Chain A
């Protein structure tokens, strides 16, 4: 496919054409009329002039599309002195993933969008231009022309301003280009296209004829090395001129869904169309006219059609009638004949028209005298005959495979709700050509998929933009089987199941509950819900300064389109991650309000990956949706961040728990901090870790140096801040007494300053309050409740555990202390302690225990870590230590 532009292996030589003209004297820029590209080992030269659409070397083996505006030399005389000013176009896959849904439909594989982001770098090195390309403008609601060949032109319908898709302002396009969008004529004379087989059938179209012939000459004289850029272009049956295609569309438009047209109706319609075709309007406007006809999507909008045509619609035309109709019209109106042909081609195999094959043949014979049709048939006639239901079925199988592929793609994008609108399906016509090319594509994609399977999932990037088309093709066929046609449908065709089987890469989810969760009922429950750490507060109090700093940092980087690193440290629960998320939320909001160029945000967490190198995989997947092994992902990312891509939007990468990305060689950290230093990368890295001195402690110099000195440290919350946090969370839900709040916040601030802890204590206090208030009836959480919660969470269980231990266990602890005192050491063997134990038993007047019991007692104490023990296989010689202070033990035992 033409999407598969490989980087040129051979050197190209660029030279100026035309006389230099100076416009800006100060800049010493010299403007030229054109650029001549000569490729090594090939005699061909191509010329590019302003107004042409060009392909530019891009990253990851894909070329960018742009329109050439100016060519100039900056006069430095160096190799890169040739410059070009361009108007960018973006392909769908260049649109950030999170914005892709805004399109609201599946993109056409050859669809590009006018790139209307103002501050985009539109000045490129002229020597990165590969070749010209054909770009057509289509009205927003007009269908894409049927894919006819591998060498499809690109289509522009919408523009992309970084936030939304909007219809292309044609004037803008025209003025910026200086020329109307006449793709075929605009480029064929300038740059030879490899292996362009011009279909003769197109010769009907007078405006395009001269250019065609010119192109033919070109292609005959100069065979462009196919292996170069447009490697997968196929010698094919091209109806590449828009006019011809348009005619097909027109003809399609006439086709009524159930062929319920009266003859007159058809005639009138066709005449009408003919007039439209033959009128000498500018092509652009004509295209508009086509687009404005809703009926141009033939088989799909039967209702529209019917409404439009209803006044005359009397009843169904009989087949004979129809045939006669065709014969009659045929000789007179050539385009109409085309119409018929396409009609048949589309529906013939389905025998929607109810024609028998012989009749169809007959009609072909009738058409034969018309040279256009012969020519057309020479190109496409064969397939018409061979287009049996069986071949359709084959393509149906193929399409089901594609649906699966598409599903995978969708799932990778995490949009599991795969629901194609019927309206979207309408756009794509199940013309024969489409089908055929689909089968061609299939074989091709099969071979491709073989090569893909070698590289595994990572190679499938190319498949990403491809799949939408294939999936669309499949549903596009299904409407032909809509109920109003079913009676005449051949039984051999079964509808393609939408979801053939469970996709392999489905993201699973926890099944949803049968009843929805209950809403909080009373004040305490409400407070509890608000106090849960997971509930997202309206604002983040007490972190205004930090918020502002991070915000300014990221905002400036996004504005400037540069990159940078920031290191954020702070003990757990001080709101580091929350603040960054808040910043990103605000920035996203600003980006939506057009105050900021849009950017994409990616988050990785060192704790949420199994080993540091997985970071690459996760970043790549979130950035592009690709799956790759760690090494491959690293290579791809390296390439991505080191190749220039003027249109790329800034990436903000949040690396949480940075310290876990530590490896011995530290290459993960190195890369993370090295990428932002590339000028083209436009990467902002926010690294979060717990310790302030992490860069100094664990990073080697070159890593620490790249991290830079933009650091920020989050201090633990003070008690006032904690109090404010709780109050703001509660947000006027009165559940706590003020004293109680103060106690909690003071206590937590003294211990750790961890906001999570504070919230958890408050939550527990509400629970305690709820239980006790069932008895007492007071509504608010009081000091006593908070005290109880604090006790629960912070009191050491050791003393209670000792008090609750059995008598023998208590005696054993006493024996341990006695033995320690005797030895003057903090360690003794079990044998020694047990002797003390027996002695103490005698003193206490208890029956003595045997050794086995004594050991069991000792091990029980060891299991709950009141004692620290060696492993028990050492038996008598097992060494014993206390895990609690002696004073605690004595205190606990004295009271008991």
Chain B
């Protein structure tokens, strides 16, 4: 269809493509979705009502959003918050504090961050950042002074909630939950976590103060809905600048969904994991193949993307090894087979290799020992072998016990695909015992 277009059109066409790509990439990277999240209406409503009550009635609440990684917890929360903040008087009233267990690794940092986000630090100059104890007292004082009807409600969002439970004494959690259970400043404590057993992490008095509201996001959708999501994710919105382009694009996506091979790819992907993040990765790879000369996603793009996604990383590494290194790997495979997974050291591998050279090999040179050691170390660096932990760490390099991090199937696959692999090496690999 691009052939029919004039030169000027082609330019705008290119612009359209880059614009569409930018829009979709943003969607995939920032986990933004058009419209409401799919299939979680009840959870959405629960959370929205809960936050509304905090914002409007000043009711304190605490809730945990639990779901596996990539199930859309943050997406749901952001969606709810955006919806909430559209209401004007809510927007004026609600304060937000965002914490992440990976960033605020202890309570001291968390408290500073809370103070900063509540803009309380300028009230007292630098004093508040004196000692941890002062900081805590300061913040508690601040929260205590508020009351249900007159203070602005504060929404605490604790991402990676389970990590906060590992803080000393769970002081922060205790205090946040305690505030939420007493007539102080209204707060809503929202924890996001992927651990299903998160409640067991809480100390009993902390647990007692938590309201036990849990919103589970378990991505319970079927493949049909998955296809819908796929279509929704790739579709351009109605208000895209070039309507004709958008229509064409969307039409193409529609036909893509009906394609048999595409469906297969998606089915395989769906089987392996339901999370949105891996789907986004797949789509991103497919999208990046779109150019001016290749203006739409074709089934082959998806196939290629899927191939990239499901590639075995170690098999790829094996393809890049030298024949000597491959020989060492095979020697190690035999050792593992013989000793049933027991660790071995370089000397044993070297002996095995020597045996092979002397008895069977016609094409492989007999390398000097230092050269073999070098190859062995390279394998170590590639993390195809892993030294054993424990007392053997200090022993001489040749006698250090290591384990092979490759499965037999991986080695055999790699050998099949290895370019110009000497046949005697192949034979050696397939033979039962060295």
Contact = CB atoms under 8 A, between A and B. Distances in A.
Contacts of B273: 806, 808-809, 856-857, 860
Interface in A776-816: 792-793, 797-798, 800-801, 803-809
Contacts of B92: 513-515
A617 B131 CA distance: 13
A499 interface: no
A506 B124 contact: yes
A573 B178 CA distance: 12
A508 B124 contact: yes
B175 A528 contact: no
A518 B68 contact: no
A529 to B, nearest CB: 7
Interface string A603-642: 0000111110010011000000000000000000000000
A850 interface: yes
A863 B194 contact: yes
Contacts of A764: 211, 213
Interface residues of A, number: 86
Interface stretch (B4-12, B138-146, B242-250, B391-399): B138-146
Most buried by B among A835, A856, A876: A876
Given A517-B149, A756-B208, A806 B271 contact: yes
Interface stretch (A45-53, A281-289, A530-538, A720-728): A530-538
Given A510-B145, A510-B185, A534-B183, A760 B152 contact: no
A506 B123 contact: yes
A864 interface: yes
B272 interface: yes
Most buried by A among B118, B174, B205, B268: B205
Contact of B313 (A504, A512, A852): A852
A517 B57 contact: yes
B27 interface: no
Nearest to A528: B59
Contact of A572 (B185, B204, B218, B313): B204
Most buried by B among A513, A518, A800: A513
Contacts of A760: 211-213
A572 B148 contact: no
Interface stretch (B77-85, B373-381, B403-411, B421-429): B403-411
Interface in B125-147: 125, 127, 131-133, 136-138, 140-143, 145-146
A799 to B, nearest CB: 10
A508 B142 contact: yes
A763 B67 CA distance: 24
A862 to B, nearest CB: 10
B252 interface: no
Contact of B60 (A534, A607, A611, A809): A534
B205 A657 contact: yes
B166 interface: no
Nearest to A770: B49
Given A510-B146, A516-B150, A875-B386, A801 B57 contact: no
Given A611-B133, A864-B195, A865-B196, A851 B218 contact: no
Contacts of B323: none
Nearest to B404: A876
B1 interface: no
A293 interface: no
A216 interface: no
Contact of A852 (B153, B311, B386): B311
B276 to A, nearest CB: 12
Interface in A466-518: 502, 504-518
A608 B175 contact: yes
Given A801-B68, A851-B312, A877 B403 contact: yes
B322 interface: no
A866 interface: yes
Given A517-B57, A607-B175, A507 B141 contact: yes
B362 interface: no
Given A504-B125, A534-B148, A807 B68 contact: no
Contacts of B270: 806-807
Interface residues of B, number: 93
Contact of B152 (A512, A838, A846, A857): A512
Contacts of A533: 181-182
B168 to A, nearest CB: 9
B96 interface: no
A660 interface: yes
Interface string B39-74: 000000110010000001111100000111100000
Most buried by A among B143, B195, B204: B204
B189 to A, nearest CB: 13
A228 interface: no
Interface in A859-893: 860, 863-866, 874-877, 883
Contacts of B347: none
Contact of A532 (B59, B136, B383): B59
B89 interface: yes
Given A515-B93, A610-B171, A508 B58 contact: no
A806 B274 contact: yes
Given A534-B183, A535-B183, A514 B171 contact: no
Interface string A719-761: 0000000000000000000000000000000001010110011
Interface of B: 45-46, 49, 56-60, 66-69, 89, 92-93, 95, 107, 118, 120, 123-125, 127, 131-133, 136-138, 140-143, 145-146, 148-154, 169, 171, 174-175, 178, 180-186, 194-197, 204-205, 207-209, 211-214, 216, 218-220, 268, 270-275, 310-315, 341, 383, 386, 403, 405-407, 409-410
Given A607-B174, A805-B68, 20 more contacts: A512-B146, A513-B150, A515-B89, A520-B57, A532-B60, A534-B184, A572-B209, A607-B205, A690-B204, A763-B211, A793-B213, A809-B273, A853-B312, A860-B69, A860-B275, A863-B194, A864-B67, A864-B68, A864-B196, A866-B196
11 contacts: A508-B120, A508-B142, A608-B174, A797-B66, A804-B220, A805-B68, A806-B270, A807-B270, A807-B272, A864-B69, A883-B197
Q: 5 nearest interchain CB pairs?
A: A572-B208, A517-B58, A850-B312, A804-B218, A807-B271
